[in-house]
Structure 1
Amino acid sequence: MNRDPVASTNVASVGYDAASQTLEVEFTNSSIYQYYNVDEAMYEQFMQAPSKGQFLNVYIKPSYPYSKVG
């Protein structure tokens, strides 16, 4: 999945596949996680959030299944 760099102290890059509703996040420590069943509206809110790390911790991590992929 292609990821785009983002301005964040914790998140290095973010990718999204609308067909599978998969959000892929690369952290600044180089670990990569995929979050599943994330609808496009939530992805757009995440990308607009002033703090990507805070948004991820509050809205995505507790609500969506995920796995470490790298």
Structure 2
Amino acid sequence: MKDFFYAIQDLFVNVLFAPLDALSELELENWFAASAISWIFVIICSAAFVYWMLQLKKFNDNDEENKSITAHDYL
């Protein structure tokens, strides 16, 4: 049973968190490169959020949803 938990530890420490270790090493060598990678992720998430909000607005403006009180069972 102990080997099972050591396998989980090995999976997380050596495999799944390897990109984060590489990013922390990159930060020590070149701070601007590490920050650029972070900003790229921020831009991607912001673009996805804006796209999601525009899609929600498009479906809301279509006005096909039944918004009456009895539209849902839990109301």
TM-score, reference length from structure 1: 0.26
Name whichever structure is richer in helix by fraction. 2
TM-score calculated relative to the size of structure 2: 0.25
Instruction: Please tell me whether Structure 1 or Structure 2 has the larger radius of gyration of its CA atoms.
Output: 2
More strand by share: 1
Q: Which has the higher contact order (CA 8 A, sep 6+)?
A: 1
